Amino acid sequence: MKKSIIILVIAIVAIVGGIWLYQNQKSAQNQKPLVKNHQGSWFGDAPFYLAKEKGFFDKYGVKVEIKKVEEAQVRRQLLSSGGADISAETIDMAVLDSGAGVNGKIFMALDTSLGADGIVATKEINNIQDLKSKKVGATKGDPPYFLLKYLMKKQGMSSSDIVFQDMPNADTAGTAFISGQLDAAGTWEPWLSKAGERVGGHVLVSSKDAPGIIVDIAFVRPEVLTDRKKDVVGVAKAWFDAIDYWKNNIDEANAIMAKEFDLKPDEFAELVKTIRWDDKNSNLSYFGSSDNKGETFGITQTIIDIAREDQMISKDLKADEIIDLSVIEKIR
C-alpha cells in the first residue's frame, strides 16, 4: 500500500494565544486552518477530501486542514512538535512511531488493504512454508514486510528460515523480483499485477487473503484527544458520513476524490477496488469495547512483537498503550 501520509490538523474555534477552539459550525467556517495542504499520492485517505468538499467537517463544527507528507521522519517530527494533531498511517507505522518516542493513540480505522499489498513468488513457491531457504526481498518496516512476517509467524517460521534481503522500497523489491534477483518479494501494486512478467511469477498471497493486517488508522496526539475530544469525535463522524455518501453517490464522490490525485474517475475507481473504506460499523467491530476488545488489539500486539523481534523498536510496548476506545465509545 503505497503511503503518502495524510496529516490532519484540527483547528478549534476561539483563538487564545494561538490555540483554536471550535464551538459551532459558523465559527468553524470562519476559522483559519493551522496547516496548508501538501499533495501526496496515497488514495486510501481520499474520503477526507470528500468530507471537506461536502461540508461534513462543518456539520460537526470542526475545521480540518489536510497535509500530505511522504517522509516518515517529517511526519514524526510534525506529530512530536505539535505541528500536526492527527496522522493517517498504517498500524505498523504507528507502532514504529511509538517505538521512536512519538506519543499517539490509535482511535479509528480508515481503510483496509484488500489486495493492494502482497507477496509475489516464483512458480515453485506455492505457500508460505515454501519460502524456507529462499531469497526473499522486502523493505523492513513497510506494510508488505509486516504482512510477510505476520504470515510467517502464523506458520511458526522465523526470520532465519528465509534468506532475507532488505530492499530500498517496495518498488525496488518488485523490480528485483521481475528481473530474477529474488525468489519472492513483499511489494504492492502495480508489481502484484506485473508478477506474470517473469515466467512462472505469481501472487503467492495478498492482503485480500489476510484482511485486517494492513490497515490505515487515525493516530492522534494524546493531549489533542484529551483537550479536544469533541473535535476528534467530529473528525470520525465526518469520515463516516463521507463513506456513506460515497456508497450512495459513487460516481460523483469518485470524481471529487480523483481530482485531488490527478486521476480520472475511472482510474480512481479501479484503485479503490484494492481497499475497503472502514465505516462506522466496521470500526465498531474492529475496535470492540473495553469489555470485549476487537481484533485490532491482537493484530497491533502481533505487529509490536514482530517489530521488537526484528529490533525495529526497543520499547516494550503493549497494544493497550497505543489504542484508545474513547472516540469509538462516543459514536457507538
Reported as a single tens digit per residue, the pLDDT across 193-226 is: 999 999 999 999 999 999 889 999 999 999 999 9
Based on the fold, state whether residues 96 and 239 are members of the same structural domain. Answer: yes
Mean pLDDT of 19-30: 40
From 154, 187, 209, give the residue that closes a domain. 209
Q: What is the pLDDT of residues 69-124, one digit of tens each?
A: 777 778 888 888 888 899 988 999 999 999 999 999 999 999 999 998 999 999 99
Q: What is the pLDDT of residues 253-274, one digit of tens each?
A: 999 999 998 899 999 999 999 9
Domain that holds residue 298: 5-114+214-331
Contact of 188 with 3, CB cutoff 8 Å = no
Query: Which has the closest alpha carbon to 215: 119, 114, 292?
Result: 114
From 176, 209, 242, give the residue that closes a domain. 209
Based on the fold, state whether residues 127 and 93 are members of the same structural domain. Answer: no
Based on the fold, state whether residues 79 and 63 are members of the same structural domain. Answer: yes
Based on the fold, state whether residues 123 and 84 are members of the same structural domain. Answer: no
Based on the fold, state whether residues 218 and 182 are members of the same structural domain. Answer: no
Q: Could you tell me the CATH number of the domain that includes residue 84? A: 3.40.190.10
Based on the fold, state whether residues 24 and 162 are members of the same structural domain. Answer: no
Name the DSSP letter for residue 130. Answer: G
24 pLDDT more than 80: no
Burial tier of 262 (Cβ tally within 10 Å: 0-12, 13-18, 19+): exposed
From 209, 239, 261, give the residue that closes a domain. 209
Q: Which residues contact 235 (CB under 8 A, 6 or more apart)?
A: 8, 10, 57, 60, 62, 64, 86, 218
Based on the fold, state whether residues 196 and 167 are members of the same structural domain. Answer: yes
Based on the fold, state whether residues 106 and 223 are members of the same structural domain. Answer: yes
Residues 98, 92: Cα–Cα separation, whole Å: 10
Mean pLDDT of 242-259: 97
Higher-pLDDT residue of 40, 55: 55
Based on the fold, state whether residues 233 and 182 are members of the same structural domain. Answer: no
Q: What is the pLDDT of residues 123-164, one digit of tens each?
A: 999 999 999 999 999 999 999 999 999 999 999 999 999 999
The domain tally of the chain equals 2
Residue 90 dihedral angles phi and psi, to the nearest 5°: -80, 160
Element (H, E) at 291: none
Based on the fold, state whether residues 159 and 72 are members of the same structural domain. Answer: no
Measured over the CA atoms of residue 53, residue 20, residue 284 and residue 106, the dihedral's sign is positive
What are the counts of helices (DSSP H) followed by strands (DSSP E) for the chain? Answer: 15, 13
Based on the fold, state whether residues 231 and 105 are members of the same structural domain. Answer: yes
Q: Which residues contact 173 (CB under 8 A, 6 or more apart)?
A: 137, 138, 139, 144, 167, 182, 185, 186, 187, 191
Based on the fold, state whether residues 238 and 319 are members of the same structural domain. Answer: yes
